Chain A
Amino acid sequence: MRIAIASGKGGTGKTFVTVNLARSFGNPLLVLDCDVEEPNSNLFIHGDLISERRSTVLVPRVDESLCEGSKVCSEVCEFNAIAVIGGKPLIFEDLCHSCGACAMFCPNGAIGEIEHKIGKVTVRTSDNIRLVEGMLDVGKALAVPVIRDVKHFADDAKEEHVLIDSPPGTSCPMVWTVGDADLVILVAEPTSFGLHDLELAVETVREIGIQFGVVINKDGLGDDRLERYCEKEGIEILARIPHDRRIAEVYAKGEQVIDVLPQYHELFTNLWNTITRKVHTVGGSDV
């Protein structure tokens, strides 16, 4: 079972829900932190570092002895990543989307592709949890290739269940992260911003066609518009996490809420039960 934890708005509690769900689960579990621009599950899941590898994309490299300055590479590049000046190609790796068109269409076969590092993927283990985290290098724009490298770990996972911490927003990184999940948990807070961005996230997961439900975090903070929206749209509320100052205090110290405030343990075990039931109920009504 693959469960993605997403939200439209940032800071609603995706990582909080992810790490406490993980902590409340007793069996082997794979946790993927796909929020590669600011991964922070590792602040709460303190594991031993098992491996670290580079995350790379392919970028062109020109063999100048073969190049005849045809400019075809720069003409086929949709991303303005190659300029041919004075018969010599200039390559801008940071603009390249690794489509390979320049190498494919070069009439002289002068372009090969080499690996260009854009981030790293680390693996840590802690008790029952294996945490795989992607980290995009500073100044790099393409998050999706790093996310893809992180998600490869789910393909041959020995763990039966996978929790995926998604980046915020509703653009490519989020879509790639949640796209093959069995269920998406949308974490939302009951404020105007929370509702607005939840609506965007709901539209997105409906478009993708995945089952989803909402976890209301900081319940009691704002008003009931979020609840009314979910009711009107027929969206199941999977859990409500109260707006409790003690949760914020524990979380701010980098501690697991269910360890320090055991009264919340049941909330997360119930959430596991709810999502398991939902995943195994064919034809959920929310899509």
Chain B
Amino acid sequence: MKIACTASGDTLEAPFDNRFGRAEKFIIYDTESNTYTVLDNSQNLQAAQGAGVQSAQHVVASGATAIITGHLGPKAARVIFAAGIDAYHADAQTVGEALAMFKSKALKPLRDADVEGHWV
């Protein structure tokens, strides 16, 4: 399966980003091949509005079936759950750490948005 993890860099050592809609990048990690690709999301970092909606559509298009992030706003959550994607909350320093926690089933699933929009 593919997992999208919010990041502010291009590698597994990159800092984990707590934000979903305004995450700079998504690391799309493939658990079967243990490889990853980087999805640039910087256009939404600057978006005037609707960053969550647009970011969620990016993730859907990437083929990921789960996301790992810090927090999820209401509009992004609507898109993510409509697409049948699972969401997980992580409190991690790096992307690699968040993914390791996911693999060891240490992450708490997000069933709904856990913050208001425009959370920073």
Bound pair (A, B): yes
Query: Is A83 a contact of B49 with CB atoms below 8 Å?
Result: no
Partner of B47, one of A80, A85, A90, A92: A80
Which chain A positions have C-beta within 8 A of B57? 74, 83-85
Query: Is A95 a contact of B53 with CB atoms below 8 Å?
Result: yes
Which chain B positions have C-beta within 8 A of A79? 49-50
CB distance from A143 to the nearest CB of B (A): 14
Partner of B53, one of A81, A86, A141: A81
Q: How far is the CA of A88 from the CA of B49 in the complex (A)?
A: 21
Tell me the chain A residues, 70-113 only, with Cβ under 8 Å from chain B.
Answer: 74, 79-81, 83-86, 88, 90, 92, 95
Q: How far is the CA of A79 from the CA of B51 in the complex (A)?
A: 9
Query: Is A85 a contact of B50 with CB atoms below 8 Å?
Result: no
CB distance from B60 to the nearest CB of A (A): 6
Query: Is A83 a contact of B47 with CB atoms below 8 Å?
Result: no
What does the 1/0 interface line of B33-72 toward A look like (CB < 8 Å)? 0000000000000010111011011001000000000000
Which chain B positions have C-beta within 8 A of A84? 57
CB distance from A271 to the nearest CB of B (A): 39
Query: Is B75 a contact of A85 with CB atoms below 8 Å?
Result: no
Partner of B50, one of A86, A88, A92: A92
Shortest Cβ distance from A86 into B: residue: B83
Query: Is B49 a contact of A85 with CB atoms below 8 Å?
Result: no
- Residue of A74, A79, A83, A141 contacting most chain B CB atoms (<10 Å): A83
CB distance from B86 to the nearest CB of A (A): 15
Q: A74-B57, A83-B56, A83-B57 are in contact. Are A95 and B82 (CB under 8 A)?
A: no
Shortest Cβ distance from B85 into A: residue: A85
Q: A79-B49, A80-B50 are in contact. Are A86 and B82 (CB under 8 A)?
A: yes
CB distance from A56 to the nearest CB of B (A): 20
Q: How far is the CA of A57 from the CA of B56 in the complex (A)?
A: 26
Q: How far is the CA of A79 from the CA of B52 in the complex (A)?
A: 12
Interface of B (DSSP majority class) = helix
Query: Is B79 a contact of A80 with CB atoms below 8 Å?
Result: no
Query: Is B51 a contact of A85 with CB atoms below 8 Å?
Result: no
CB distance from B61 to the nearest CB of A (A): 10
Shortest Cβ distance from A71 into B: residue: B57
Q: How far is the CA of A84 from the CA of B82 in the complex (A)?
A: 10
Q: How far is the CA of A83 from the CA of B44 in the complex (A)?
A: 15
Query: Is B78 a contact of A95 with CB atoms below 8 Å?
Result: no
Q: How far is the CA of A84 from the CA of B79 in the complex (A)?
A: 9
Query: Is A95 a contact of B49 with CB atoms below 8 Å?
Result: yes
Q: How far is the CA of A92 from the CA of B56 in the complex (A)?
A: 13
Q: A74-B57, A85-B60, A92-B75 are in contact. Are A80 and B49 (CB under 8 A)?
A: yes
Shortest Cβ distance from A80 into B: residue: B50
Q: How far is the CA of A13 from the CA of B41 in the complex (A)?
A: 44
- Residue of A74, A79, A80, A90 contacting most chain B CB atoms (<10 Å): A80
Which chain A positions have C-beta within 8 A of B49? 79-80, 95, 141
Partner of B75, one of A88, A95, A141: A95
Q: How far is the CA of A182 from the CA of B53 in the complex (A)?
A: 42
Q: How far is the CA of A75 from the CA of B56 in the complex (A)?
A: 14
Shortest Cβ distance from B53 into A: residue: A80
Shortest Cβ distance from A77 into B: residue: B50
Q: How far is the CA of A273 from the CA of B50 in the complex (A)?
A: 49
Which chain A positions have C-beta within 8 A of B79? 83, 85, 90
- Residues on A lying within 8 angstroms of B by beta carbon are 74, 79-81, 83-86, 88, 90, 92, 95, 141
3 shortest interchain CB distances as A-B pairs: A80-B50, A85-B82, A80-B53
Q: 6 A-B pairs, CB-CB below 8 angstroms?
A: A80-B49, A80-B51, A80-B54, A85-B82, A95-B50, A95-B75
| Beyond known contacts A83-B54, A95-B50, A95-B53: 11 more, CB 8 A cutoff | A79-B50, A80-B51, A83-B79, A85-B60, A86-B83, A86-B84, A90-B82, A92-B50, A92-B53, A92-B75, A95-B75
